[in-house]
Structure 1
Amino acid sequence: MLFQVGGQGARPTFFEMSAAQQLPASLRAALTYSLGVFALRRPFLHNILDYEDEFFALLMAVLESHSLRTTDGSFSESLYGLRRRPVKVAVKRSSPGTESSDKAYDSALRRRQKTLSVVFLVILPYFKSKLQSIYNKEREARLQASLWDQGEVRFDEAGALDQQGETSQAQAESTTREVSHLARLKTNFAALIGVSYPWIHATNEGLSFAYQLLYLLDATKFYGPGLHVLGLHVCRATGQELMDSSSRIARIRNRELERLRGPPWLKTVQRVFLSCMYTTLDYAQTGLIAAVFFFKMMEWWYESAEERMSAPTVYPPPPPPPLPKVAKDGLPLQPDRTLCPLCCQKRNNPSVLSVSGFVFCYSCIFKSVSQHKRCPVTLMPATVEHIRRLFHDL
């Protein structure tokens, strides 16, 4: 399944190269999240998550090797219809039936270039991920040491030995020295990574950004420093190249099937195994992308359904409480609601009495409540703490 993004000529656009470069990281994040969800019901999957870097590196090594072998492109590049070509194209030897002036060019990758491509695509990112994890642990240890005002974070050398009564003093001292030496080496190595990794990461990111900027400005044909070191550039695969790659895959597989040795039953088992492996590798690209997409779609579907089921029912707002009744012996209300019931004047510094809800002048209601301990209109018990200042008169 090939996705042609578009553009003219054999040179891919910047967006094609950027999408192809970011696909492995997105695929890893999706696979890790999927395994984490499945591990909630299948605890044995936590063993895979504990070795996440190794598992993903092994998976990508198989996919990248197969993709480079069959399509001369990486896993993500072949998905976007791209392939790798050497900058210096070799000239084929002319066959006896052709004229000497005709030259045939061979743009296929050599075995050395394919091997180095796997190193740059799989092994170097794996070591970078491990260095990143070591750096994060070292930074966390330094942060804890600074928070707790500790010195150098070291291993517990005293607790590393479980000295038994039968062990001699000399053996205990030698074992202690070995453990302390190993712990010191680990500590020094982690400290070295903590100091050097930011510079390594900054250098790598700076070079990558520079190459991408130059590629965007059409100043270089290399999208990254790795391709420049390998002497390869990425281009679009033509229809003839796709047909040639299909025929080349068929020839390689027929040759591998012809090399099978052993009794008939063993050949049958080997042929079935190779057929299953070929089918798995052929549909690995579309299978992984489709599986992750299907999983995310089902997760979104069930999460939205659960949210709808667990969402609280929206009820209409309750009606306001009824107005308090005016007491027979209380002050009568003025027809004009902007007047204070106590002084019968325009309200100054309006304040409400929370027990009844009526609004008075602050000085009037403060004096009345302080003296009578009740609302002057409803005669409900009240104190000065029930007086609330209003910032605008209604």
Structure 2
Amino acid sequence: MLFQVGGQGSRPTFFEMSAAQQLPSSLRAALTYSIGVLALRRPFLHKVLDYEDEFFAALTLILETHSLRTTDASFAESLYGLRRRAVNIHMKKEDLRIETGNRSQHSGIRKHQKLLSVVFLVVLPYLKSKLHSIYNKEREAALQASLWGNVNETFDQIENLGDMDTSFASTSSLDTHTELSVRTQFRKRMHKIVATCYPWVHAGSEGLAFAYQLLYLLDATGFYSPGLHALGLHVCRATGQELMDTSSRISKIRSNERERLCGPPWVKAVQGVLLSCGYAVLDYAQTGLIAAVFGFKMMEWWYQSAEERMLAPTVYPPPPPPPPPKVAKEGIPLAADRTLCPLCSQKRANPSAITVSGFVFCYACVFKYVSQYNHCPVTLVPASAHSTCVELTELHLNSISTHQECIKLLSWLGSREEERKRKSGSWEKRDFLSHLQAIAALNTELNMPSYRRSICRADSALLA
């Protein structure tokens, strides 16, 4: 499986080299995450996570060795159709440089270059990961010591004293304890040295690698990394003829290995089957590994999205508003003209509404009627004059056309109610403004009669 990215000639583009360099770290992160998820159901996989560095180093050792042996490229480079070639360095009097492009003379990789390539691809990243883990542990220990004091050393001293007390029983146990204490102190000193030097070494290596990448991007050098420069290797695109030659060379190597099998026929058959299985695993390890990680991530995304849909709360539509109150048979009928008071059949003076029904009357008429009969004159719903009569003005009633004007009306009602509380002190100590503003926020219909009735009914429910 090859990924050919644009560009001309045999020199790979910067993006090809960058993708090939970042593939192992991305693959390691994906494998670690996949194993961590599987370990939730299979606890024995936690042992793999405990030795994550060693496990991944062994895996990359197998993949890189096989890839360099068969394709003269690393595992990631072979996926992008790249090959490593040895470079002959020509010394000139004017300047000392390495010829690149069409003038560079490439040859096959030698055995020692393959061995050193494995060291740069497997051993050095493994050592770097171990040093990074030691640095992180020492940093956490230093932070903990700065916050809580050096607790670990105190416990170590106590344990050492206890061990020394018990070690007086025999000289051999004392020697063993001394040897262990020396080893422990040496290990702690080495960890402190690593914690001190690692940031500088890491910064230097990363800065040098960045300089090489920048020079490669500017076409000032043919080496993408310091490791390739130290090995004297260029990374080039593989041609179709080179791919065919590689396939034929692999088939010849495998046929020679089959011919070297010895033993009885059944032993040769078993060895041949094992070799075939090993070849199949190595041939499809690159594609299969990436496909497995991709498939696992796809399954995880699928089940996670389904789980989120199941756990998401169901959003129901808001309930419909309650129906408007009906006019009672024994109640006072409404006039055809909405501006007339149903009680006096005159134009409303100082309009006031009954909150339990929403109908508007003259303030004097409705206050006298409700104080005497304790119910709404139209619907005969029980009502109290001191808690249900809300004073309005005809100007506000006839000018409501938008939600903002509704809020202004409600604010005005609240100020009037507060003023009435301060003057008389006989009204309920409730905040009509908060009730009415909450009702206005829920109301979207601004039809005047139904809107007044919905305000009054909801406010009545809140007061109840």
Give the Cα–Cα distance (whole angstroms) in 2 for the partners of residues 213 and 294 of structure 1. Answer: 35
* 8 Å Cα contact 1:214/1:220 also seen in 2: yes
How do residues 1-394 of structure 1 correspond to structure 2 at under 5 angstroms? 1-88=1-88, 107-150=107-150, 153=153, 156-159=156-159, 168=169, 170-171=171-172, 173-318=174-319, 324-325=355-356, 327-329=384-386, 332-336=390-394, 358-361=413-416, 364=419, 367-368=422-423, 371-372=425-426, 374-375=427-428, 382=429
Distance 1:279 1:338, change over 3 A: same
* 8 Å Cα contact 1:63/1:281 also seen in 2: yes
Distance 1:166 1:25, change over 3 A: closer
Matched to 2:419, the amino acid is C
Please report the TM-score for the alignment, with normalisation by the length of structure 1. 0.81
Give the Cα–Cα distance (whole angstroms) in 2 for the partners of residues 106 and 262 of structure 1. Answer: 43
Give the Cα–Cα distance (whole angstroms) in 2 for the partners of residues 66 and 154 of structure 1. Answer: 51
Deviation at 1:265, TM superposition (A): 2.2
Matched to 1:183, the amino acid is T
Give the Cα–Cα distance (whole angstroms) in 2 for the partners of residues 201 and 224 of structure 1. Answer: 15
* 8 Å Cα contact 2:86/2:232 also seen in 1: yes
Q: Which moved more, 1:215-224 or 1:183-192?
A: 183-192
Deviation at 1:363, TM superposition (A): 6.3
Give the Cα–Cα distance (whole angstroms) in 1 for the partners of residues 422 and 293 of structure 2. Answer: 73
2:156 aligned counterpart, secondary structure: coil
* 8 Å Cα contact 1:351/1:361 also seen in 2: no
Give the Cα–Cα distance (whole angstroms) in 2 for the partners of residues 136 and 270 of structure 1. Answer: 47
Please report the TM-score for the alignment, with normalisation by the length of structure 2. 0.69
Partner of 2:372: none
Distance 1:150 1:324, change over 3 A: farther
Q: Report which structure shows greater RCO (CA 8 Å, sep ≥6).
A: 1
Deviation at 1:324, TM superposition (A): 3.9
Residues 93-152 of structure 1 deviation map (CA, whole Å, 9 limit, x = unaligned): xxxxxxxxxxxx872111100000000000000000000100000000000001113388
Deviation at 1:182, TM superposition (A): 2.0
Deviation at 1:155, TM superposition (A): 6.5
Deviation at 1:270, TM superposition (A): 1.4
Give the Cα–Cα distance (whole angstroms) in 2 for the partners of residues 106 and 256 of structure 1. Answer: 29
Matched to 1:126, the amino acid is Y
Aligned residues: 356
Give the Cα–Cα distance (whole angstroms) in 2 for the partners of residues 36 and 151 of structure 1. Answer: 32
Q: Which runs of 5+ in 2 are unaligned?
A: 90-104, 325-353, 357-382, 398-407, 441-464
Matched to 1:128, the amino acid is K
Deviation at 1:301, TM superposition (A): 1.0
Give the Cα–Cα distance (whole angstroms) in 1 for the partners of residues 113 and 138 of structure 2. Answer: 36
Distance 1:359 1:197, change over 3 A: same
Distance 1:142 1:269, change over 3 A: same
Give the Cα–Cα distance (whole angstroms) in 1 for the partners of residues 214 and 221 of structure 2. Answer: 9
Partner of 1:93: none
* 8 Å Cα contact 1:351/1:389 also seen in 2: no
Distance 1:336 1:177, change over 3 A: farther
Distance 1:272 1:10, change over 3 A: same
1:262 aligned counterpart, secondary structure: coil
Deviation at 1:157, TM superposition (A): 4.2
Identify, as 1 or 2, the structure richer in helix: 2
Matched to 1:204, the amino acid is S
* 8 Å Cα contact 1:64/1:118 also seen in 2: yes
Distance 1:208 1:367, change over 3 A: same
Q: Sequence identity of aligned pairs in percent?
A: 61
Give the Cα–Cα distance (whole angstroms) in 2 for the partners of residues 248 and 176 of structure 1. Answer: 59
Deviation at 1:174, TM superposition (A): 3.4
Q: Which moved more, 1:304-313 or 1:152-161?
A: 152-161
Larger radius of gyration between Structure 1 and Structure 2: 2
Give the Cα–Cα distance (whole angstroms) in 1 for the partners of residues 203 and 85 of structure 2. Answer: 29
Distance 1:16 1:365, change over 3 A: farther
Q: Which moved more, 1:178-187 or 1:51-60?
A: 178-187
* 8 Å Cα contact 1:154/1:187 also seen in 2: no
Matched to 2:50, the amino acid is D
Q: Calculate the aligned-residue CA RMSD, in Å.
A: 3.2
